Amino acid sequence: MTETTVYRTLEFLAENGVVNPTQAIGGHLAYELVGHDHHHLVCRSCGAQLDLAPDSFQEAISKLERQTGYRIEAGHMTFFGLCPECASKS
């Protein structure tokens, strides 16, 4: 399989709601399966990544729904900062 074929397949899967494109560390594009909602903490220094459960933000999501009238069905958030190890070095 060629690299072009892989990217066309990923684009097809995204257009048909099987995967969601997301931004990874360094600005690279990554893909995640739909229905596997979660959020990330990413260290800007070393690139360490921590997955957060979607219920970590349920209270904020519920408030957002009440304020906007939207019914949020899926979401993905990435927070950037420094991991504890890198933060202790600075």
User: pLDDT tens digits for 71-87?
Assistant: 987 677 788 899 999 99
- pTM equals 0.61
CA distance 66 to 64: 5
What range does the domain containing 50 cover?
3-89
Radius of gyration for the chain, computed over Cα atoms and rounded to the nearest angstrom: 16
Q: What is the pLDDT of residue 83?
A: 94
Provide the 3-class DSSP secondary structure of residue 55.
Answer: helix
Closest by alpha carbon to 74, among 25, 6, 4, 21?
Answer: 21
User: Tell me, what CATH number does 30's domain have?
Assistant: 3.30.1490.190
Q: Which residue in this structure is represented by tokens 């995967």?
A: 19
Give pLDDT tens digits for 10-66.
899 989 888 878 766 666 777 877 776 778 888 989 988 888 887 888 898 899 999
Tokens representing 38 are: 């979660």
Q: Which amino acid is at 49?
A: Q
